[in-house]
Amino acid sequence: MYRWKWMLFGAVLICGPIAQAQKPNDARVVLVMTDGMRWQEIFRGADESLLTKERYYDGRSVDGLRQKYLAGTAEERRRRLMPFLWGTFIPQGQIYGDRDAGSDASVTNGFNFSYPGYNETLTGHGDPRIDSNDDKPNPNVTVLEWLNRQPELKGKVAAFGAWETISNIVNAERCDCVVNVGYRPMEIHPMTAKMDLLNEVKANSPRFWDDESFDAPTFYTAMEYIREKKPRVVFLSLGETDDWAHAGNYGEYLESAHRVDGYLKQLWEELQSMPEYKGKTSMIFMVDHGRGAAPEEWRSHGQKIPESKYIFMGFVGSGVPARGLRTNVPAVKQSQAAATLAKYLGLDWNAEEKQAGRPVADAIK
């Protein structure tokens, strides 16, 4: 009885309309995230009240950092902290999340910490099951995994994370995409001298954080992979901004943000020097969660710090209209990132993942 019913159902399925297969365009996309960086420093620059020697290495002088990062206006301070972001990325692209200028960007997952934030970014929706940072495989299919299933993109999706857990967040095993995290060596074929050296540096560096490397080896591993293998989709997750803030080291938090800006510059300039990427690459720069306010809660984030839901989301590149700093615009959500990323490749993530937020329409040409 039941068997017949199912056979009938099967027949209807077979005779029904076949879903239109999606085909990507010729674009490339890069998603860069720097863990737990506050919107406040992005848009206001360094906070003078926090840049004190009590919030640096064991009371080391911050005179040099104050000289480097402080200035009379928010515009000048943010330019000093992130010169590439403000000098090139934003003028050529756009950014959301300046709450001083009527632009909100926020997470929707309700947790305001890392795994839920990366999951929301990469799937387009929060998930109540993902309520910890436990290093477990993501039950959800991310947009990266889905892209890697497209025949045209198979093997051309790569993810790099300073934090070990990034591997499970993208579900490396099921995704079958290229993944390198933490201190793990990266093998490519043929192997290059640079990659060899990077692997040796990782193997012989002190484990300052047991599950996370500094950003530099992660960034240079990603760069070398991009040069050699020219992936179509790249996810780069950096972690120092979060760790230094938790440690209460505001000076190094600023320095790591400044280094991230340098990485964005190098990455963008190298991409524009390669024919595989020049003029056909879009880049997203954003964050998994925000943090609390000065003088204490800036160090932390989570459900107990509601304002840590506020983030920033920036877009630049061939698929992005140049609208600069967005002011007085409707709020955008972290859940919109996955569909926006897919849209740059001409693909509709919402057709695949019904729960996902819609693309940020203003950020797409």
> Nearest approach, Cβ of 91 to Zn ion (angstroms)?
31
| For Zn ion, the closer CB: 212 or 224 | 212
Q: How near is the Cβ of 35 to Zn ion at its closest, in Å?
A: 7
- Judged by CB under 5 A, does residue 242 bind Zn ion? yes
Of the candidates 138, 161, 184, the residue with the CA atom closest to the CA atom of residue 234: 161
Measured from each CB, the residue nearest to Zn ion is: 242
| Cβ closest to Zn ion, residue 256 vs residue 282 | 256
Give the nearest distance from C-beta 134 to Zn ion in angstroms.
Answer: 14
Site for Zn ion in 14-73 (CB under 5 A): 36
Read out DSSP for 41-71?
HHHH---TTT-SGGGSGGG---HHHHHHH--
Give the binding range for Zn ion (CB under 5 A) out of 80-88, 151-159, 169-177, 235-243.
Answer: 235-243
Tell me how far, at minimum, the Cβ of 242 lies from Zn ion, in Å. Answer: 4
Helical ranges in 150-288 per DSSP H? 166-169, 172-175, 193-203, 215-229, 240-246, 250-272
Nearer to Zn ion, 36 or 217 (CB): 36
Radius of gyration of the chain (CA): 21
Provide the minimum distance between the beta carbon of 17 and Zn ion in the complex, in angstroms, as a whole number. 47
Which 3 state secondary structure label does DSSP give 159?
Answer: strand
In the chain, how long is the greatest CA-to-CA distance? 81
Q: How many CB atoms lie within 10 A of CB 260?
A: 26
* Nearer Cβ to Zn ion (98/288): 288
Q: Residue 355, CB half-sphere, CA atoms under 13 Å: how many?
A: 15
Least distance from C-beta 135 to Zn ion, angstroms? 15
Q: Which of 237, 216, 222, 235 is nearest to 159 (CA)?
A: 235
Window contacting Zn ion (CB under 5 A); options: 78-86, 96-104, 234-242, 313-321: 234-242
According to the binding rule CB under 5 A, does residue 215 interact with Zn ion? no
Which part of the chain contacts Zn ion (CB under 5 A), choosing from 142-150, 176-184, 227-235, 237-245? 237-245
The CB-of-244 to Zn ion minimum distance in angstroms stands at: 10
* Beta-strand runs (E) in the chain: 28-34, 94-96, 105-106, 157-161, 178-181, 233-238, 281-286, 313-317, 324-325, 332-333
Question: Helix (H, G, I), strand (E, B), or coil: what is residue 235?
Answer: strand
Counting contacts by CB under 5 A, is residue 240 touching Zn ion? no
| Element at 83 (helix H, strand E) | helix 83-84
Choose between 198 and 305: whose C-beta lies nearer to Zn ion: 305
Q: What is the closest distance, in whole angstroms, from the C-beta atom of residue 114 to Zn ion in the complex?
A: 6
Binding part of the chain for Zn ion, among 72-80, 130-138, 240-248, 268-276 by CB under 5 A, reads 240-248
How many chain residues interact with Zn ion (CB under 5 A)?
2
Contact indicator for 246, 300 with CB cutoff of 8 Å: yes
d(CA 235, CA 214): 17
Pairing relationship of beta strands 281-286 and 313-317 according to DSSP bridges: antiparallel
Of 215 and 242, which CB lies nearer to Zn ion in the complex structure? 242
Nearer to Zn ion, 145 or 242 (CB): 242
Binding site for Zn ion (CB under 5 A): 36, 242
